[in-house]
Structure 1
Amino acid sequence: MFRKKVLLSTVVSMAFLGGTEFVSAQTNSDKPKEIKENLEEKFANVSPKLMSDNANPLLDFMFTADPTAVEYNGRMYVYATNDHQQYEKVGKDGKNSYEHIRTLVMMSSDDMVNWTYHGLINTAEVAPWTGVSWAPSITSRLEADGKTHFYLYYSNGGGASAMLTSTSPVGPWKDPLGKNIIDHSVPGVDVNNPFDPGVLIDDQGTGWLVFGAGKPKTIYMPDNARIVKLGADMMSLAGKISKIPAPYFNEASDLNFINGTWVYSYCTNWDERTEWPYTNIAKPTGCNISYMTSKTPLDPDSWKYRDNYFKNTGEVNVGPFTNNHTHFLKFKGKYYLAYHAMYLQDYFGTTGGFRNVGIEEMQVDEGNDVNIPMVTATFKGPSQLNPLNPFVLQQAETTGGTSGKVQFEAVGNVGNMVAKGKADKQCLMVRGADFSKKIPSKFEAKVKGKGKIDVYVNNLKGTPLVSLTCDEKEWTTISKKINQKKGKGVENIYFVFNGEGFLFDEWKFIY
């Protein structure tokens, strides 16, 4: 809602954009008090990315794990287990036993460093017959009705796999079956734990599902990974369930199709590698991600063990040792591996085993045999694919880093979130905004409640570029003039805001 009259005090605003000074109008009578608080120091210890060039973890205000991803309309949509639901239940001194998790997390990006939080898929409401929900896997396909349909599979506890559908990547989601797609009642499901589903649609439009987990009959015996062809409806099985002889298999099945080759990835177990039949391939380390390839995936003898390509994050000192779960896909001409590590435990003051999704660029040789070199987990993460445009409407829930105390709540359309303020100062940052061709003359934001936003560009030093004050009971778009001389650069933007019950929905600069 727009108000005809919004009373704002005139604020002296000065900041540096790409090394160039911005100056706005002022009067001596309403000159602001000198800012004595060191905001960089205040926010330095709340996120591994807010005050650095780090792009991992993707979201730094909540715990997430077990990622999957799908591309749609130029954005990568990532879905994850909501470890934060467990954390909220047991607290920082509790353990992540996964028993309280009944939601999945949604987020997306078009540049791989700024991520838009789309909220949660509440499986307890959508499919109330299910139990805990973990480890989603998603794919999509343009169907006869002219709509792209999204098919999301997930672990219904340790004993089954369920699925949901939507015609939007952010929902609303529906439960089309009202039962598990995979559990022990299905003929051929003879694995200990038929969970951790991985879904794929190949170049012929055929769906495939991999799943399984559990202790094998012997340490090496690879007999708990399974693959099955899906029916045309993606909700039924279209044939016999077959084995994938994955050595030292543990869990986290995933499937890709590259140049006529099925690529199966999985997490190895922790057992000592006492048996190893391959003379030219090194034994995989504990709890890493290994892969196998096949041209005829329903033939167990056709699968070849290739190598391991992602070590446990504890091996490379990105957090402590944890379990391992990955998904890789091609996006804008590059391959990316999504995974989880315990990035945020120190910042949240816990050692309970709470995880966060990160992402890395990876190399994949798409030749006839498909080859995947080693990928290493980092805090640095991928580079920004394209700069953020600050002159088009941007969502407050799109962030490259936060203060760690910011909360979000759903408002309006499905998948839309707004930042929710507290009494203390909080910070949202977006990375790599492009001011190189246009000079901002105004800043505007859609806000509600009582609070204030101070906008800094490049860093949090000095006085803000512009400040907005709000005291509105309804959603209001407030704008503030910036009288600048000149400015160029690609810079980070920091939004420092506070106010009890203050809501921040969207923003943009105007030139």
Structure 2
Amino acid sequence: MKHIKSLLSLALALALCACSAGKPADSGASTDQPAEFSPDTAFTLGGNITETTPGDITMTSLTSISSKTTAEGNPLLSNIFCADPTAVEYEGRLYIYGTNDHQQYEAVGAEGSNTYEHIKSIVMISTDDMVNFTYHGTINVGEICPWAFASWAPSITSRVEDDGLTHFYLYFSNSGWGTGVITATSPTGPWSDPLGNSLIDGNTPGLDGCQSPFDPGVCIDENGTGWLSFGGGTDGARIVKLGSDMLSLDSEIKKIPSPFHFEASELNYINGTYVYTYNNDWSGHYENWDKEGVFAPPQCSMSYLTTKTPLDPDSWVYQDYYFRNPGEQGLEYSNNHTHLQKYQGKYYLFYHALFPQKSLGTTGGFRSLCVNEAQVDEENVKISPVTGTREGVSQIKPLDPFSPVQAENIAACAGTAYSATEEPGDMTVSNGTNDGTGAWLAVRGADFADGATRFAARVKGTGRIDVYIDGIDGNITTSLEFSGDDWQTVYSSEFAALTGQHDVYFVISDGFEFDSWQFA
């Protein structure tokens, strides 16, 4: 056995010597060569890929009409009026919905007033970092539900049903007359009308004096049971258990004893407790206040009650107010409507405010969505007072510029217009200034890591995109010029490497649609 081991050792040594003899001497330098750039593998935006061609398109000036800068988180949308927020999380993204004040604005113009009668659609946006928001367009409730007078103040929830799909249930105010519901199996639609009429309206038995059964607030508890709150006016708050289909009522309608009740119902379910939030009225609340141990709420602020047994009116306990009127926080006085949402381990309070409208050339009462962090004691189910600010919230994750990014994913913009594609919730961006100036859009917190040296965009039409880093006042990092009747991906020539985390600005000419972009 020892003799055999010796022979094997000798054979192995001879083999190693033979292999070494065939290797070149080590020069001390690597022979690896960088991979040759290939746009077909570097970019995944789709369509034909071509390199930019220098042309004669120029942009001599930029529009400055915007309601925010990239340093400000609020409002969420720079140039679209939207109010009465609600939200639902799906596959890691947060989808936010609201009353489409912009539809009223487009109907009556900058000199008109927001009296809501033209609003028959709901705005959809989403985010995964809380500072860059993707505009998904609108839900045309007037077309989906031709019986509806209006669509205001939505409230949304979702649940995985027996078919294995996540179903979304979006309840909306059918003016002050009632509450309707639409459904979908995607957070951006397509949406359908399952009932063909209101779920609740002025003809519903058991309202017991509720004059305006609108402003719905929905939640699903730990047992999978749905609950719907609603109601406006003095002594108008109501709650009902929903049927297993989320489209019917499965209990008597019961009162919620909410002091100085006005509107803006919402429901949350936190640690086995039902949390009802609402907007109290504009009257003075300090006279005849009878709640011991808690101060009367300020005028038109947001208050909340809690219970373990929502159909027992006597079980509801008034806790406190948690959000003053935006006007008391330097954000201009308005009506008040909030949505409390937990996302990625933090609580956020979504609300609306009027302060952006002046910078967009109107004082007609057109509202904009905002968000600030909220502190919630889940163990004791207590909401600390929330302060509204123009700064908004911090970015919770960097944006990845090496993956395709939709052009309508924006932190701030000016002069942009949007067009819907055939895909529900998908939009393109274009220059909507109509005066020859350049429009711009920007994203916050793009992480270029060790370096990006090329840029590409999916476009259709004839135009130019100038890319700036950390501000439009500096030098252009790269540009694209292009022309074509079909969708194409156009990429830039090589530029000095971008590294680290930056805000990215895109200045766009008129004459084309902008679908998406990517760095490599």
TM-score by length of 2: 0.88
Is the contact made by 2:95 and 2:126 (CA closer than 8 Å) also made in structure 1? yes
Is the contact made by 1:182 and 1:189 (CA closer than 8 Å) also made in structure 2? no
Which residue of structure 1 lines up, in the alignment, with residue 424 of structure 2? 414
1:352 to 361, 364, 389: 364
The Cα of 1:346 is off from its aligned counterpart by 1.2
The Cα of 1:460 is off from its aligned counterpart by 1.4
Which structure 2 residue ranges, 5 or more long, are not aligned? 1-45
**Residues matched between the structures, number:** 470
Once superposed, what is the RMSD of the aligned Cα atoms?
1.7
The Cα of 1:438 is off from its aligned counterpart by 3.0
Does residue 285 (structure 1) correspond to residue 298 (structure 2)? The answer is: yes
* DSSP 3-state at the match of 2:311: coil
Per-residue CA deviation, residues 445-494 of structure 1 (Å, 9 max, x unaligned), is 0001111100111121333111111211011111112232x442211000
Which residue of structure 2 lines up, in the alignment, with residue 150 of structure 1? 168
Residue type matched to 1:309 in 2?
Y
Q: Distance in 1 between matches of 2:49 and 2:125?
A: 35
Q: Distance in 2 between matches of 1:282 and 1:472?
A: 65
Which residue of structure 2 lines up, in the alignment, with residue 27 of structure 1? none
Is the contact made by 1:48 and 1:54 (CA closer than 8 Å) also made in structure 2? no
2:326 to 313, 332, 335: 313
Which residue of structure 2 lines up, in the alignment, with residue 159 of structure 1? 177
* DSSP 3-state at the match of 1:474: coil
Does residue 361 (structure 1) correspond to residue 380 (structure 2)? The answer is: no
Which structure 1 residue ranges, 5 or more long, are not aligned? 11-29, 217-222
1:503 to 509, 513, 518: 513
The Cα of 1:499 is off from its aligned counterpart by 1.8
Does residue 399 (structure 1) correspond to residue 410 (structure 2)? The answer is: yes
Which residue of structure 2 lines up, in the alignment, with residue 20 of structure 1? none
Instruction: Return the index of the structure with the highest Cα Rg.
Output: 2
Which residue of structure 1 lines up, in the alignment, with residue 390 of structure 2? 379
Per-residue CA deviation, residues 96-142 of structure 1 (Å, 9 max, x unaligned), is 10010011000000000000000000011111111111000000001
Which residue of structure 1 lines up, in the alignment, with residue 214 of structure 2? 195
Q: Write out aligned runs for 1:8-27 (5 A).
A: 8-9=53-54
Structure 1 residue runs of 4 or more that deviate by more than 3 Å after TM superposition: 1-7
Q: Distance in 1 between matches of 2:273 and 2:443?
A: 39
Is the contact made by 2:49 and 2:488 (CA closer than 8 Å) also made in structure 1? no
Per-residue CA deviation, residues 322-365 of structure 1 (Å, 9 max, x unaligned), is 00011111100000111000132111121111000101110000
2:112 to 88, 94, 101: 94
Q: Distance in 2 between matches of 1:442 and 1:129?
A: 52
Q: Write out aligned runs for 1:26-41 (5 A).
A: none
TM-score by length of 1: 0.89
Does residue 477 (structure 1) correspond to residue 496 (structure 2)? The answer is: no
1:84 to 102, 117, 131: 102
Q: Distance in 1 between matches of 2:50 and 2:94?
A: 40
Is the contact made by 2:60 and 2:437 (CA closer than 8 Å) also made in structure 1? no
Q: Distance in 2 between matches of 1:269 and 1:457?
A: 47
1:325 to 306, 319, 337: 337
* DSSP 3-state at the match of 1:328: strand
Which residue of structure 1 lines up, in the alignment, with residue 141 of structure 2? 123
Q: Distance in 2 between matches of 1:458 and 1:3?
A: 30
Is the contact made by 2:268 and 2:276 (CA closer than 8 Å) also made in structure 1? yes
* DSSP 3-state at the match of 2:369: strand
Is the contact made by 1:58 and 1:113 (CA closer than 8 Å) also made in structure 2? yes
Q: Distance in 1 between matches of 2:498 and 2:457?
A: 21
Does residue 110 (structure 1) correspond to residue 155 (structure 2)? The answer is: no
Which residue of structure 1 lines up, in the alignment, with residue 240 of structure 2? 228
2:274 to 251, 259, 262: 262
Q: Distance in 2 between matches of 1:285 and 1:432?
A: 38
Is the contact made by 2:77 and 2:369 (CA closer than 8 Å) also made in structure 1? yes
Per-residue CA deviation, residues 262-295 of structure 1 (Å, 9 max, x unaligned), is 1100000011222210231111011110000101
Q: Distance in 2 between matches of 1:4 and 1:365?
A: 53
Residue type matched to 1:170 in 2?
T
1:237 to 236, 249, 253: 249
Residue type matched to 1:352 in 2?
G
Residue type matched to 1:238 in 2?
D
Which residue of structure 2 lines up, in the alignment, with residue 297 of structure 1? 310
The Cα of 1:61 is off from its aligned counterpart by 1.2
Q: Distance in 1 between matches of 2:404 and 2:475?
A: 24
Q: Write out aligned runs for 1:329-340 (5 A).
A: 329-340=341-352
Which residue of structure 1 lines up, in the alignment, with residue 195 of structure 2? 177
Q: Distance in 1 between matches of 2:194 and 2:498?
A: 54
Q: Distance in 2 between matches of 1:408 and 1:184?
A: 37
Q: Distance in 1 between matches of 2:219 and 2:487?
A: 42
Does residue 250 (structure 1) correspond to residue 295 (structure 2)? The answer is: no
The Cα of 1:5 is off from its aligned counterpart by 5.5
Residue type matched to 1:47 in 2?
S
Is the contact made by 2:430 and 2:508 (CA closer than 8 Å) also made in structure 1? no
Is the contact made by 1:56 and 1:379 (CA closer than 8 Å) also made in structure 2? yes
Does residue 60 (structure 1) correspond to residue 73 (structure 2)? The answer is: no
Is the contact made by 1:440 and 1:482 (CA closer than 8 Å) also made in structure 2? no
Residue type matched to 1:427 in 2?
W
Is the contact made by 2:82 and 2:100 (CA closer than 8 Å) also made in structure 1? yes
Q: Distance in 1 between matches of 2:474 and 2:267?
A: 51
Is the contact made by 1:161 and 1:196 (CA closer than 8 Å) also made in structure 2? yes
Residue type matched to 2:98 in 1?
A
The Cα of 1:36 is off from its aligned counterpart by 7.5
Is the contact made by 2:463 and 2:508 (CA closer than 8 Å) also made in structure 1? yes
